[in-house]
Amino acid sequence: MRRTILSLLALAATLAAQTPFDRLVNADKDPANWLTYSGTLDGQRYSRLTQVTPANAKDLELKWVLQTRAPAEPNSKYEATSLVSDGVLYTVQPPNVVVALDAVNGKIFWTYPYNPAPQARACCGRVNRGLAILGNTLFMGTLDGNLIALDARDGHVIWNTQVGRPEAGYSVTVAPLVVKDKVIVGPAGGEYGISGYLAAYSAETGKELWRFNTIPKPGEPGHETWENDAWKHGGGSIWTTGSYDPALNLLYWGIGNASPDWNGDVRPGDNLYTSSVLALDPDTGNLKWHFQFTPHDEFDFDATQVPVLADITWAGKPRKVMLFANRNGYFYVLDRQTGEFLLGKPFVKVTWANGLDAKGRPIRVGHSTPEGSLIYPENQGGTNWYNPAYSPRTGLFYIPSWLDTHSINTSRAEPYREGMPFNGGSATHEVPALRPGPTNKRLPELASGAIQALDPKTGAVKWQFKMMDVTDSGVLVTASDVVFAGGREGYFYALDARTGAPLWKAMVGGAVSAGPTTYAVDGKQYISIPAGNAIFTFGLR
């Protein structure tokens, strides 16, 4: 009898679950909600909401603002994409404060203020890029290397699992991805000489179910691309969310740089699977294929961009492809069933390679050197983790780009010491790497930012909306042909998705360093964007 009662209670909890996995798979048909990091599992950040149009975008107005609890620490940045489920918006204020609030009026339901352990290392800011949801459970990675499950209704901790040791530089800043009953994450720490992996955890218990080593260990395929013992601290971090194709049952994930970043001489070989994209079986973690964008990277060119999955016509036939604008300055189209290289074309000025060969391998002409070498694009790349978007309506791929930027890349010998930076050099550049200064006095030709619209079939830039300063903003595109994005200057824009013409802008008073979210409640569409130390939400008058 007791067992029956318990079963009924557990069943009741299951039935009440607000976000089963089917709902994530079919998120495109449920545009009122934003249920995954990229809105849909294909990574497109394409919303089928159409209330805001090029004609009426000028009528957008501020509906509410949520300030963070306190001024952000100097090295904090608000990078999280919000989730929205049934009128509740979930966000993560840096570094690990989860907030559930009413998506219509911004009033807080609950907060979960996780305080990362002092051992946490963050190379590039105390950041978090967002949550995942399954059923009534939210999942958050923490700066000190944990994965935490929270009850979405009251913020109570359900389980807490260690992903990696913070004292050795492992942290979790990526927004997790839920595939079926598993939560997929991996550790950042490419600047601390971690040995990376992507891992799946039981959504119910937090138990690790599989792990794929992004730096293959002895005996594992790919290990031969490390010609000495440098693999032990080879990097291969995880810090931007992957995507998933339910029909192919393939999980795609971009992998970070090799360690040490700038000194390739100490790690001869291609250094798989750094600066690569992987296609994995999400049930087992087995590798189906891989493609390495930057073999033997010497410029910190992580491939930690969102793999965007699109079904397009290629050479006259329907083809399942992956669109990937890489930090190394090239835009790639791959066959996502096989990993076959279909197209690669630079979208910004590139000098480290003189094109790609027939298989997509770069024809390398530039290297980091002890005396320093000038390389385009700069260390932060032609683009970076900032989320791209793809519209099946316009057929265009939208990316936040850094135009005309360069770095002086300098290599140097540096011993590995656990928990200490392991960069093997450095890059100097005109643009502050991670956040804007208080003013901008640069010559325009030294750097500018843009939202670019690429034609995936040719790699041609169809239009670009230029900004004086660069942008760390994600991009969103809607089925009414409106693109939303921002930049470091503190503007948040609506652009015409077909022409790039600016339709509307709001000054949000701080750099936009996150991806916009759109959702609807009671038939009204909202667009929400974190910027500076706050989150701003707009709707039509």
Strand partners, 71: none
Q: How far is the CB of 6 from another protein (least distance, A)?
A: 6
Q: Under 8 Å CB-to-CB from 461, ≥6 apart: which residues? A: 347, 452, 453, 454
Residue 95 preceded by cis peptide, ω within 30: yes
Which residue among 117, 365, 374, 460 contacts another protein (CB under 8 A)? 117
Q: How far apart are CA 112 and CA 232, in angstroms?
A: 36
Strand partners, 396: 391
Q: How far is the CB of 540 from another protein (least distance, A)?
A: 20
Check binding of 291 to another protein (CB under 8 A). no
Which residue among 20, 113, 221, 355 contacts another protein (CB under 8 A)? 113
The string of DSSP letters for 359-371 reads TS-EEE----BTT
Please, what sign has the CA dihedral across residues 87, 93, 96, 97? negative
DSSP letter assigned to residue 25 = H
Q: How far is the CB of 16 from another protein (least distance, A)?
A: 6
Q: How far is the CB of 170 from another protein (least distance, A)?
A: 17
Q: How far is the CB of 160 from another protein (least distance, A)?
A: 5
Q: Which is nearer to another protein, 120 or 482 (CB)?
A: 120
Q: Which is nearer to another protein, 187 or 206 (CB)?
A: 206
Q: How far apart are CA 342 and CA 360, in angstroms?
A: 8
Which residue among 26, 115, 313, 458 contacts another protein (CB under 8 A)? 115
The string of DSSP letters for 470-488 reads ------EEETTSEEEEE-T
Which residue among 70, 247, 460, 468 contacts another protein (CB under 8 A)? 70
* Residue of 276, 275, 273, 279 whose CA lies nearest to 320: 279
Going residue by residue from 79 to 98, which x/- string records binding to another protein, judged by CB under 8 A? -------xxx----------
Q: How many C-beta neighbours within 10 Å does residue 73 have?
A: 11
Q: How far is the CB of 76 from another protein (least distance, A)?
A: 12
Q: Which is nearer to another protein, 71 or 370 (CB)?
A: 71
Q: How far is the CB of 113 from another protein (least distance, A)?
A: 7
Q: Are strands 308-314 and 287-292 parallel, antiparallel or unpaired?
A: unpaired
Q: Which is nearer to another protein, 116 or 236 (CB)?
A: 116
Check binding of 316 to another protein (CB under 8 A). no
Q: Which is nearer to another protein, 83 or 475 (CB)?
A: 83
Q: How many residues bind another protein (CB under 8 A)?
A: 39
**Cβ 140 vs Cβ 48: under 8 Å:** no
Q: Are strands 448-454 and 396-403 parallel, antiparallel or unpaired?
A: antiparallel
Which residue among 125, 164, 206, 260 contacts another protein (CB under 8 A)? 206
Q: Which is nearer to another protein, 139 or 398 (CB)?
A: 139
Q: How far is the CB of 5 from another protein (least distance, A)?
A: 7
Q: How far is the CB of 359 from another protein (least distance, A)?
A: 48
Check binding of 165 to another protein (CB under 8 A). no
Check binding of 157 to another protein (CB under 8 A). yes
- Give the interface segment with another protein, choosing from 105-113, 253-261, 274-282, 450-458 (CB under 8 A): 105-113
Establish whether 300 is a catalytic residue.
yes
Q: Which is nearer to another protein, 16 or 247 (CB)?
A: 16
Going residue by residue from 7 to 36, which x/- string records binding to another protein, judged by CB under 8 A? --xx-xx--x--------------------
Start-to-end Cα distance in the chain: 57
**Cβ 22 vs Cβ 367: under 8 Å:** no
Query: 3-state DSSP call for residue 231?
Result: helix
Q: How far is the CB of 21 from another protein (least distance, A)?
A: 18
Q: How far apart are CA 311 and CA 208, in angstroms?
A: 33
Which residue among 74, 118, 318, 438 contacts another protein (CB under 8 A)? 118
Which residue among 33, 40, 81, 136 contacts another protein (CB under 8 A)? 136
Q: In what order do the strands lie in the sheet containing 396-403?
A: 389-391, 396-403, 448-454, 461-467
Number of separate helices (H) and strands (E) present in the chain: 2, 38
Q: Which is nearer to another protein, 123 or 494 (CB)?
A: 123
Q: Which is nearer to another protein, 206 or 500 (CB)?
A: 206
Q: How far apart are CA 132 and CA 288, in angstroms?
A: 25
Check binding of 108 to another protein (CB under 8 A). yes
User: In terms of C-beta density within 10 A (0-12 exposed, 13-18 middle, 19 or more buried), how is residue 207 classed?
Assistant: exposed
Check binding of 205 to another protein (CB under 8 A). yes
- Give the interface segment with another protein, choosing from 37-45, 199-207, 406-414, 451-459 (CB under 8 A): 199-207
Q: Which is nearer to another protein, 18 or 56 (CB)?
A: 18
Check binding of 162 to another protein (CB under 8 A). no
Dihedrals phi, psi of 177, to nearest 5 degrees: -120, 130
For the CA atoms of 263, 366, 124, 41, what is the dihedral angle to 10 degrees? -120
Query: 3-state DSSP call for residue 535?
Result: strand
Q: Are strands 362-364 and 146-151 parallel, antiparallel or unpaired?
A: unpaired
Q: Which residues of 454-476 are buried (b: 16+ CB within 10 A; e: fewer)?
A: bebeebebbbbbebebbbbbbbb
Which residue among 28, 204, 220, 281 contacts another protein (CB under 8 A)? 204
User: Among 144, 300, 469, 481, which one carries the catalytic annotation?
Assistant: 300
In the numeric block, which tokens belong to residue 254? 């971009």
Q: Which residues are catalytic?
A: 300
Which residues make up the interface to another protein (CB under 8 A)? Answer: 1-2, 5-6, 9-10, 12-13, 16, 70, 86-88, 100, 102, 104-105, 107-110, 113-118, 136, 151, 153-154, 156-160, 204-206
